[in-house]
Structure 1
C-alpha cells in the first residue's frame, strides 16, 4: 500500500490507476470498500433504459454509469444506441444479456480492443433458459427472454427485464431494485437506502432496519422450560428511532409447576433483536389463585429473552393461562 499520486496536480504524475483510486472518494462504498457500480438515477433510468427496437434490435437510452475496472470508470451514453440480437432459437427460448463495458488492452486488463462497447451475450436455448454470465468488467443492463416464435423484439413472448443497479455518490442514500439486491450489499453503520417500492432502511449493527415498515418478530422457543406448552406469541418492530418491539403473549402451561420468587421462567427469545433500554413489563392477566392475581409479570431481558416473573414463590396449577404484552426499545443483535 502506498500514497497515490494526486489528481489533478501540477506534477501531472497521476496515471490512470491513480486517477481511478482518486475517483473512489466520489462513489458510494460498502463496509468492505467495494464501490457502488451502476447507472445514475434519472427519470429515464427509473422507468427502463433498455427497450425493444426495430427488427431484432434492442435500444439503449442515454445514461451515465460507473463501472469497475480496477477502480471506478465513468461511462456516458449521450443518445439512444441499438444492439442486434441473433435470430430467435429454432426451439424453446433463450435469455440474452445486454451489457456495457470499457474495453482495455493494457495490463492488467487483456481485452482485444480499447474503448466503450455495448454488447449482447447470447444465451443458450432451453425449456428453462438461464441468464448468461456477465463478462469480466462489464455492467449488465437488462436480460431479454426470446421465444422461438419471435420474429422481432416486439413479438409476443419477448420479455425485457431491467437489471442495472443504481450508483450513488459517496455518503448518499442508496437505491436498490429488490430485497435480494439490498441484502447482498454489506452496509456500514448508519448507511441508508431505499427500494424502488419506496421502503426505506438504515443499517444498524450490520443489519438493514426498516424506517417505513412494521416488521414481524420471529421467536425461538427451543430449549426453554415452556417449549412444550401452548404458546401464542405475536410481535412487531415499529420503525421509529430507536426501534420499538411490541409483543403479545398468550401462554397455557401444560403441567403444574412451582414458580420461584424472582426466578424467571424463560418463554422464548426474539430472533435477531436485543433490548437496549428499559422495557414496559406488563402485569399478566391469569386464571390462578386469587391472592396472586396482578402481581406476576412478563419481562424482556437485554439479550431478547421473553420471561415470566413472580415476586413470590407460588404453585401454578396445570393448564393455567397467562396473557399480557411487552413494549421495549430494541436494536438488531
Structure 2
C-alpha cells in the first residue's frame, strides 16, 4: 500500500493526479463510521421519511435521496443520488406460503475499478427470497446497500398491502449524530473505537396483564415486553379494581425483557385480576 493522492489533484510533471479509488478513499474520511469503524453505507440523512414504499402493483417505489455504497473497503465508498422516485419491479407473489423481498441500490463499478463487470451505472433492484412456510430474508447483493424488506404472502397483488420495513442505516458526516430508530429514536456517534449513544428519546411500552389472585395470598404474573430494552427499564404497575385497597401490588423483579408482578388480594375469594403496566427505557 502507498499514500493515495487526494481530491482534485491536477497533473504534475509525471502526469500523476487524482485517481478514482484515491478520491473515494479521501471521501471515506468525511463519512460517518459504521459499527466496524469503516465508512457507513446507507442513505444520507435527510427528511427521514420512508425511502421505500409500496405501489398498486407488484413493484416498489424508491424516493429521491442520496446514497452511499461500496464494493469493498479497499475500493472505497461511492456517494451518489437518486433525483426522482424510481419504480422497481418484483415478481408475482407465490401461490402458497410466502417469501421476503429485499429492495436495494448499487453503484456499479468496472472490474478494473474494484467492482464487477463493465458498467458504471446506478441500479435499483429487488432480490426475492426462497418461498417457505418460515421464509428468511435474502442476502444483499455484493456492492449493494439494502434499503427495505417486505414479507410477501401468497396471493398478494400489490405491494401497497405489505408491511415494508426500512432496513438501511442513515449516514451523516464523520463525527455527526446519526439517528437509529428502534421504537424510540436514538442518536449515536463514533467515539474512536465504537458507536455510542449520545441522546435518546427512549422506548416506552405499556399493556395490561391479567392473572388469578387469591385472598390473603401473594400470587405473581409475568409480562414479557413486546420489544426488549437495552437495559433494565423503569416500570410502574397499577391494579385495575373498583374496590380501593382491594389489591396490593408490587414489582417482584424486572429485566430488559420482562417484569414479574406480585399481587396480594385483600378482598375475599379468588378472581382474575388485571394490572396496567408501563415501562420506559433505552431501546436495544
> For residue 8 of structure 1, what is the aligned residue in structure 2?
8
Partner of 2:121: 115
Aligned to 2:90: 85
Give distance in 1, aligned partners of 2:26 and 2:104.
26
Q: 1:190 to 1:33 in 2, by over 3 A?
A: closer
Task: State the partner residue of 2:28.
Answer: 24
Pick the aligned partner of 1:161 from 155, 160, 165: 165
| Cα 1:7–1:144 shift into 2, 3 Å | same
Q: Which has the higher contact order (CA 8 A, sep 6+)?
A: 2
1:149–1:72 Cα change, 3 Å? same
Match of 2:150, SS?
strand
**Cα distance change on mapping 1:97 and 1:24 into 2, 3 Å:** same
Unpaired runs of 5+ residues, structure 1, are 201-212, 218-233, 236-333
Checking the alignment, whether the CA contact within 8 Å between 1:143 and 1:161 is kept in structure 2 is: yes
| Matching residue of 2:108 | 103
Provide the aligned length of Structure 1 versus Structure 2: 200
Quote the offset at 1:164 in angstroms: 0.9
Q: Is the 8 A contact 1:88 1:146 kept in 2?
A: yes
Q: Secondary structure at the match of 1:94?
A: strand
> For the residues of structure 2 that align with 1:152 and 1:122, how far apart are their CA atoms?
15
Match of 1:267 in 2: none
Aligned to 1:295: none
The RMSD of aligned alpha carbons is 3.2
Give the Å deviation of 1:10: 2.6
| Corresponding position: 1:129 with 2:135 | yes
SS in 2 for 1:26: coil
Unaligned runs of 5+ in 2: 204-228, 234-252, 255-284
Deviation of the 1:29 alpha carbon: 2.3
Deviations 1:229-276 (A, max 9, x none): xxxxx99xxxxxxxxxxxxxxxxxxxxxxxxxxxxxxxxxxxxxxxxx
The TM-score with structure 1 as length reference comes to 0.53
2:23 match: secondary structure? helix
Superposed, which structure 2 residues align to 1:200-279 within 5 Å? 216=232
Which position in structure 1 is the counterpart of 2:257? none
Name the CA shift for 1:10/1:53 in 2 (closer, same or farther; >3 Å). Answer: same
Question: Matched residues in 2 for 1:190 and 1:141: separation?
Answer: 23
Report Cα offsets for 1:135-164 as digits up to 9, x if no partner. Answer: 111000000111112122234xx2211111
Q: CA deviation at 1:4?
A: 1.2
Displacement after TM superposition at 1:30 (Å): 5.0
- Give 2:260's aligned residue: none
Cα distance change on mapping 1:26 and 1:53 into 2, 3 Å: same
Please identify the structure whose Cα radius of gyration is greater: 1
* Superposition deviation, residue 215 in structure 1: 5.2
Q: Which position in structure 2 is the counterpart of 1:170?
A: 174
The whole-number CA distance in structure 2 between the counterparts of 1:214 and 1:139 is 26
Asked whether 1:188 is paired with 2:192, we answer yes
CA distance in 2, matches of 1:99, 1:162: 11
